[in-house]
Amino acid sequence: MKKRFLGARIPPLLITVFWMLAAQASVLAQDKAAKIAELMKLYNSYQQFNGSVLAAENGKVIFKKGYGMANMEWNIPVETDTKFRLGSITKQFTSMLILQLVQEGKIKMEGKLTDYLPDYRKDTGDRITIHQLLNHTSGVPSYTGLPNFFQDVSRNPYGVSDFVKKYASGDLEFEPGAKFNYNNSGYFLLGAIVERVTGKPYEQVLKERIFDPIGMKNTGYDHHDTILAKRAAGYERRPGGFVNAPYLDMSLPYAAGSLYSTVEDLYLWDQALYTDKLLSPQLKELWYRPGLSNYAYGWVVRKAPLGAQDEQVTIIEHGGGINGFNTLITRMPDSKNLIVLLNNTGGTKLGEMSQKIAAILFGKPYKAPVRDIADALFSTIMERGAPPAISQYRELKATQKDAFDFSEGQLNGLGYRLMAIKRINDAIEIFKLNVQMFPEGFNTYDSLGEAYMENGDKNLAIQNYKKSLELNPKNTNAAEKLKKLEAAP
């Protein structure tokens, strides 16, 4: 009778060592999770984060948690399966669809825009390639940068072809391929190309080619009229607290920013990208290849310092910002670490949070979060006016410089808060303080010029816009405002 081979017997000592190492790894993961929890608890208490977070180490989730409210009016807390609008994280899904169609021979990277959208204006579309649309070097003006776009257009629904003709077909700002200019119009056009090539709606193609194959059941195209379970409401920080974010018709962000998802689904996305299930290795390498400004196809790819100056890690990431939402996915492929941050209270410090979580994952030191000096000053201004707040600023900077964020953006944001509630004179004093603190910052003079213009002080507005342009000749806002002011009687 032939004996079955059962394999060599593993020595008891090796088994013991294995379990000891596994237990040690588990303890380390728990310690890192506890540090992330404490870090995000502080950000939440400072009103700098309201949302859900997930962190994975070596491909394994070690921490996920929700903070704050998904719906403030009904006191519904954020959970890890709460659905958030993603904003521009959508772009990586659009670019994946394009690369899949390239893989199937249905699209060519050097194919022209008019090859796939034959009704597009030929004088510009014949010069723009798919590659240039993907990496923001097409030269097409971004519709979100058009004057008064959000004020006049953002609430109105549009069909894809109508929107392309009216808002994504402007004269080129530069020769295609000549430079990088982040561009939502380019990704809107890519969505239209996906529909034209496949003969199916963009959101259906996403579901069939990406979401269903990898089990992303809580991800999709956000429609205002759809009843969507566990959808977070969008808010923005304003003087005295939060307000509901302005309405935005989701036909406008489209393939550049209309998806919703959860931290858990984005973890599934991250894990799928380590396989060849969605795209071949050759095309994935192209997908991640950075061009101008480190931008690849729907990703920013860069090397980031970690701890010692000579120690760097590859970062593949992208953020998103859309009315009431701020998002960030950060992938570290060498270690298979992942950080996902989804926030529903407008713009906040997600980049800073991600850096600190990355430090925890790699066992590196990090600084604790600090409070926003703007919040402390705003309360004082509302009670006693700007002069006492300015004195408070100087005192706190002298005695508690490590307890608050004293960056240029803090005073700038505070000034605009005050302008929004018609405290123009207080805003001017805060902008003047910012100019004193940051005399080389072109934006400080630009903001002060705007406040003077709002107050009817034409000469002082001109003076500050000129100073802003002197510091930054590329400040188109200052140039346009200055031109209008000098032309006015």
Specify whether 347 is located in the same domain as 392: no
- CATH, residue 439: 1.25.40.10
Residue 4: pLDDT over 70: no
User: In the prediction, which pLDDT does 2 show?
Assistant: 43
Specify whether 179 is located in the same domain as 325: yes
- Tokens, residue 167: 């808002």
225 assigned to some structural domain: no
Q: Of 361, 388, 419, which residue is a domain's last?
A: 361
User: In the prediction, which pLDDT does 465 show?
Assistant: 96
pLDDT tens digits, residue range 93-107?
A: 999 999 999 999 999
30 assigned to some structural domain: no
Split into its structural domains, the chain has a count of 2
Whole-Å CA distances, 190 to 23, 98, 123, 203: 48, 8, 18, 13
Residues above pLDDT 90, as percent of the chain: 87
**pTM of the full structure:** 0.89
Residue 239: pLDDT over 90: no
Specify whether 247 is located in the same domain as 356: yes
Residue 6: pLDDT over 50: no
54 assigned to some structural domain: no
276 assigned to some structural domain: yes
The stretch 281-299 carries a mean pLDDT of 97
Q: Of 327, 361, 395, which residue is a domain's last?
A: 361
Which DSSP category does 112 fall into?
B
Specify whether 132 is located in the same domain as 203: yes
The stretch 344-368 carries a mean pLDDT of 95
Specify whether 330 is located in the same domain as 377: no
Range from 3-7, 66-70, 206-210, 452-456 carrying the lowest mean pLDDT: 3-7
User: In the prediction, which pLDDT does 305 show?
Assistant: 84
Specify whether 106 is located in the same domain as 178: yes
Specify whether 144 is located in the same domain as 202: yes
pLDDT tens digits, residue range 9-26?
A: 666 665 555 545 555 567
User: In the prediction, which pLDDT does 390 show?
Assistant: 97
Q: Of 307, 329, 361, which residue is a domain's last?
A: 361
What is the residue range of 343's domain? 87-220+240-361
Residue 387: pLDDT over 80: yes
Specify whether 193 is located in the same domain as 98: yes
CB 485, CB 465: distance < 8 Å: yes
SS3 assignment, position 161 = helix
Cβ-proximal residues to 117 (8 Å cutoff; 6+ apart), any chain: 125, 164, 189, 192, 193, 196
User: In the prediction, which pLDDT does 274 show?
Assistant: 98
pLDDT tens digits, residue range 178-233?
A: 999 999 999 999 999 999 999 999 999 999 999 999 999 999 999 999 999 999 99
